[in-house]
Amino acid sequence: MTEPTALTVAIIPARGGSKGVPGKNLRRVGGIPLVERAVRAASAASGVDLVVVSTDDAAIAAVAEGAGARVVARPAELAGDTASSESALLHALDVLESEGARVGTIVFVQATSPFIPSEGIAEAVDQIVSGRFDSVFSAYETYGFLWRRNAEGRAAAINHDAAHRPRRQDREPHYLETGAFYAFDAVGFRRFQHRFFGQVGIVEVPESSAVEIDDEQQLALAEALAAASALPEPITASVLVTDFDGVHTDDTATVDSEGRESVRVSREDGMGVSRLRRAGIPMLILSTEQNPVVARRAEKLKVPVLHGIDDKASALAAWAAEHGIRLADIAYVGNDVNDLGALGIVGWPIAVANAHPQVKAAARVVLSRRGGEGAVREVIERMLPR
């Protein structure tokens, strides 16, 4: 009988509890939940055969599965504040091997690191599979002078002589562990039950990838970095849902003496919607306002509309379930805080250029155009096949 091929498995421990940042593993950076970012980074790495998320949380499990990961249910006794990551890794390994899998290499990936380089994971896998090292970790090169405080509070130099300050080019570099990922031989890990053993190597990664989220300030920094580095990308959603006021319009209205309202819309948005229909991509307008102008515009665009909706997230989830659509496949475009619920449940949360700051922070994509000025057209152009 042929022995099964040894697999390289990336395991992402992601428990539901977190004191520093509540719900941390589901918090979004660049509009994408942290656990999904980790799954994507591991899945894109050459040499990784399977990505597993170990969790005790149903919401995390749903996001992980939607991103393409295998989920292993993490027992409550391994999901508390005092449980080690190693215990979760060993449990996941037990589950996989009980099912007949033969695991050769483990990559331990931390969801709290939002900018994990896939090429770094691939290098780590190669270092283990090739037998060069037994375990490796991600780190970046630093020439910093390190200090510690003694019991009396006085400073003491660690990696240098305080009386001698050589130039950077004359100093020995050190490597600071990022915590983003580790890789090791599965047999050795079972034996030592720790991530560092045998011949230990370093996978050097950019310092820019070393952000690790343990508090709200670090989360805000990661969001800012994600926004600053975002490049236009195709929007691969298969369904488009939009708010109306502030997305199709510039969020203003003209009221005549009889109280009738009129709004300003973009003709190029109308052309974009027409192209979307021809491409067979479903669209829905979801609006809080119960106003004839919303219905008339939707009728002209030949797009279904749900208006007079207070709880947009519940209405959107119900509509998606009724039509057999996965929330992960929906792009939702909003502009104000009443859109946050809907933005939080879809795969592609999108903000117009002049959206409220909270909406921009929740968005995976921030458009270059303002509401009523071609924002809908911009989304559609990025959704249509090239």
- Mean pLDDT within 40-65: 95
Taken in order 23, 218, 214, 348, the sign of the CA dihedral is positive
CATH 3.40.50.2300 fits 7-229, yes or no: no
- Cα 62 to Cα 19, 35, 67, 71, 153, distances in angstroms: 22, 11, 9, 9, 48
Architecture of the 239-383 domain: 3-Layer(aba) Sandwich (3.40)
Q: What is the per-residue pLDDT across 259-315, written as a single tens digit (0 to 9) for each?
A: 777 888 898 999 999 999 999 999 999 998 777 888 889 999 999 999 889 999 999
Q: What is the pLDDT of residue 224?
A: 84
What are the structural domain ranges in the chain?
7-229, 239-383
Q: What is the pLDDT of residue 30?
A: 85
Would you say residue 162 has pLDDT above 90?
no
Taken in order 131, 137, 143, 149, the sign of the CA dihedral is negative
Q: What is the per-residue pLDDT across 72-119, written as a single tens digit (0 to 9) for each?
A: 999 988 888 788 999 999 999 999 999 999 999 999 999 999 999 999
Tell me the C-alpha distance between 384 and 349, whole Å: 17
Q: What is the pLDDT of residue 79?
A: 83
Q: What is the pLDDT of residue 293?
A: 86
Proportion of the chain above pLDDT 70, given as a percent: 98
Q: Which residue has the tokens 């859109």?
A: 339
And the tokens for 48? 């990784």
Q: What is the per-residue pLDDT across 175-210, written as a single tens digit (0 to 9) for each?
A: 999 999 999 999 999 999 999 999 999 999 999 889
HSE toward the beta carbon, residue 64, CA cutoff 13 A = 29
